[in-house]
Structures are given as structure tokens and as C-alpha cells.
Amino acid sequence: MSTARRSAVGLALLLLAAASSGAAENDPQLAVDAPAVSWSRDRLELAVEQRGQLTDRRLSVSVFVDGNFLRAYPTRGGRTAIVVEGLELEAGNHRLMVKSGTHEARDRFRYLPPGYAAGAAAALAAVIVSIVLVRRRKRRP
């Protein structure tokens, strides 16, 4: 395998690893869904789903990131979208937990600063250009 192809495969695997999320640990009656990657340092959109006996109940769920209590949010039953603002995330992996009474659900997400996306795009563009140039050189007699 050529160096350019190895670089492209390595970059693709790196991007897939960055986009993958940890497996959610959900209570049978309460679930939380966070994006695999958050590009915002101070804002996170998530969804809380109530199941079973909790389906039609209005609850107050407490939201925690990395074990730190952020705030309690009301739910409407079923699936509720919540926007958590005022975060000060560091780049890397984070643990999310929502709790209501004895029910709790967990998920993981990764915060990547916008500069990471620009760097990854630039690296991908460089790999593509190098592959094109190598192929053009091979075609010349």
C-alpha cells in the first residue's frame, strides 16, 4: 500500500474514531441520546426519552456532565429535546448523565473545537492532492 493510501486510510480511521460515541447506558424507563461529537464548547443538544411507566409523565430531570450537576429541566413525557447552555468544555471525551428519582441514563460525547475540523479537512485535502499527483506521475511515459 502506498504512503498516500496509508495516510488516507489512517485519516479516515481517525475521523471515524472521533465521530464514534460510547455506548449509552440507559435505564429501561429513561434514556438519553447525545450527539457523538459536539462542535460547541458551551452548548449541547440532547434528547431524553421516557419509556414504560414514565412515558406520559411530566418529570424534572437533572443533567450532569462529567459528574457535575448543571441544571434540572422539565420533560413533557415521551421524547423531550433539551439544550444545555453555559458549558465550558475542554476538548476530549465527556460523560453525560440524566437522573430523575431512582432512574438514570448515561451517554458519552466528544467535544472537538472547530479548529480540529479545519485541520482534519486540510489534512484530507492534502492527502487527496498527493494521491492525484502520484497517479498523474505514474501515467506519464
Q: How does pLDDT run across 11-25, given as a tens digit for each residue?
A: 555 555 555 545 567
The verdict on residue 104 lying in a domain is: yes
Structural domain includes residue 70: yes
Q: Is residue 131 part of a domain?
A: yes
Collapse the DSSP code of 22 into the 3-class scheme (helix H, G, I; strand E, B; otherwise coil) and give the result.
coil
Beta partners for 80? 48
Does residue 141 sit within a domain? no
* pLDDT tens digits for range 55-67: 888 999 999 999 9
49-59: b (≥16 Cβ within 10 Å) or e: bbeeebeeeeb
pLDDT value of position 11: 57
- How many helices, marked H, and strands, marked E, lie in the chain? 2, 8
Q: pLDDT per residue over 83-108, tens digit each? A: 999 888 888 999 999 999 999 999 99
Instruction: Read off the CATH number of the domain in which 89 is found.
Output: 2.60.40.10
Task: Write down the pLDDT at residue 129.
Answer: 81
Q: Which domain holds residue 107?
A: 3-136
Report how many domains make up the chain: 1
Is there a domain that residue 109 lies in?
Answer: yes
Q: Is residue 105 part of a domain?
A: yes
For residues 138 and 60, the model is more confident at 60
pTM here is 0.68
